[in-house]
Structure 1
Amino acid sequence: MLKRIVDIVYKAGEIYTGAGSDLSVSLKTSNVDLVTKYDKEIQTFLYNELKRIIPDAALLGEEGDGNKELTDGYCFIIDPIDGTTNFVKGFQHSAISVGLAKDRELIIGVVYDPDLDNMYYAEKGKGAYLNGNRIHVSDCDMQTSLVLFGTCPYEHELAHKTFELTEKVFYKALEVRRGGSAALDICYVASGKADLYYELILRPWDWAGATLILNEAGGVCTQVNGDELSLNSIKSYVCGNKRNIEEFYGIYNS
């Protein structure tokens, strides 16, 4: 099943890389919440093709007015372009993300970076991979960690708290970066390209696929205060390794 999902996501990437200059950009909830015709086209393609694998699976996706809640049984959790603003600007840091849950537990994660042709994937209990090579989180402490963070762009009321926290992290870490795609940032932690990532509010479709990859790569993920995550809740998110995430909790609570 994993191979079939990977193949479908690769094909979805062809829609992304074949995008023309007319993206048909429109606004959703605010002037920073963008959607393009390619977000919608990729999601429709994924819906149609993934249903061929598991016809009775539910579909939870970012775009449109469809289901926004995880269900029992099989459920695909889809973000057709995570990092739409990057895509619109040609920043080349976006991802197609697909998670598969069974009875509300993640069992497969696939995240594709079409710009760099990097495919991250994992199946529960079978390890995590990047382009066929096994990946694992780093064992860096905070002082030697490259830290990625998100700015909660749709919730400006969290801006001050985000940047106040990031200033504290900046003084404790090796460096900080803001990439603009949660799915890719989590995969960067899973593969040891970065060491910790956090955001004070995140939607499940942003992190579902990448989180299974992170878990299979030996990573740890929770809400920023250490509470458990839920696929049915819009909450904060942090991931890292067993060393630096404990240090992060100390910074957050200071």
Structure 2
Amino acid sequence: MEVRVLVADDELEIRELLTAYLRREMYSVDEAADGEEAVRLFERNRYHMVILDLMMPRMDGMEVCRRIRSMSNVPILMLTAKDQELEKIVGLNMGADDYITKPFSIHEVVARVKALMRRFLVLGSEESRQGESRMNYKGLSIDLKSYTVQVSGEDVSLTAKEFELLKFLASQPGQVFTKTQLFRNVWNDSFIEDDNTVMVHIRKLRKKIEADPSNPAFIQTVWGIGYKFSGERL
């Protein structure tokens, strides 16, 4: 299967660098020089991954991320500058799955892309081979084949990373995980361990699946340690 990646950045050198290295990994790559072009390309083509610069002309990365997320749950890796900590958090809230800071190591970017792609493309296949395609809890259903979630019978749209996080926690109910453990297992990343990334995704996930996010029934905080999944298995 051809894996197609969209690289959106207004700096030609960065686009060329990313494209060259991703094509070495046998990915098909399209480039966009601004936000509007990125959205147009995404609407016309099927992509499995988007690498998105935060600061672009004509439409910034935040708005591009929002529009892509309204159409698809493909992984989005956001590129940010060192002094854009607030924007990183906002980007994650808008639906980005991960971010990397400029200037970056191209090998780190490729590793992040491969990790996100691997989990996105094969998520659910292992569970299928083991005979389990759905995890059902009272008020919550997680379909591992179709990559979908229902809360009280209603479909809920999750990003790829939100789905992975929920799946990981729900597959081991009652088990308490630290933020570091969640980052290593869900993000599959040995480069950094980022508490903010985990916390932002937990907060986003709770808003989507909890009746009362401030008093969660499914994803509970174990103060001073981390998080656990609580749910009545059906």
Instruction: Specify if TM > 0.5.
Output: no
Higher strand share: 1
TM-score (norm 2): 0.31
TM-score (norm 1): 0.29
Structure possessing the higher relative contact order (Cα contacts under 8 Å, 6 or more residues apart): 1
Higher helix share: 2
